[in-house]
């Protein structure tokens, strides 16, 4: 059984609406899904308590903060150190935006933001000199078609996809 049960139609729609605008008033949310504002508030609070909604944040343009370079770096741990968790080390590097422990040839996939290519070189050197890092491979992003795409709640098996109807 999934950690979070599949959402009903109303909760699923509330999640979609809040992903588009996390500051939307409860009265508007309720009107959109056919319930009262207080009922929408109660449902949202329950979604938060269940951990479905983990928080709210401003979406900031990285280039407006001076981070003009986006890169993805695959890191492989040194042989014999596979059991060592390096995520704490990577978290100490502020330019590492995301860290994923993965399967495949590499052990970690990092999303890295840098001011420019010289700054990226500095960050990569820091990653490469992290204890137990054996190899790195980095891809620099030229352009991004989209990011932070809203997630659609999972459907129950056999339930039709409303976009395919």
How do the domains of the chain map onto residue ranges? 1-59, 62-140
Checking if the pLDDT of 127 tops 90, the result is yes
Record: fold of 1-59? Arc Repressor Mutant, subunit A (1.10.10)
The top-level CATH class assigned to 62-140 is: alpha beta
* pLDDT band at residue 1 under the 50/70/90 scheme: very low
Answer whether 99's CB lies under 8 Å from 87's CB: yes
pTM, whole model, 2 decimals?
Answer: 0.78
């Amino acid at each position: 059984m999934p950690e979070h049960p599949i959402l009903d139609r109303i909760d699923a729609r509330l999640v979609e609406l809040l992903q588009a605008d996390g500051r939307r008033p409860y009265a508007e949310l309720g009107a959109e899904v056919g319930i009262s504002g207080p009922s929408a508030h109660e449902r949202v609070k329950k979604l938060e308590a269940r951990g479905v909604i983990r928080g709210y944040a401003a979406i900031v343009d990285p280039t407006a903060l001076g981070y003009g370079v986006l890169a993805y770096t695959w890191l492989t741990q040194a042989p014999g150190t596979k059991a060592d968790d390096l995520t704490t080390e990577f978290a100490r590097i502020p330019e590492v935006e995301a860290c994923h422990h993965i399967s495949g040839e590499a052990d970690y996939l990092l999303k890295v933001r840098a001011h420019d290519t010289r700054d990226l070189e500095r960050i990569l050197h820091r990653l490469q000199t992290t204890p137990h890092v054996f190899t790195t491979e980095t891809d620099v992003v030229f352009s991004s078609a989209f990011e932070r795409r809203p997630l659609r709640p999972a459907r129950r098996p056999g339930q039709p996809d409303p976009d395919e109807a």
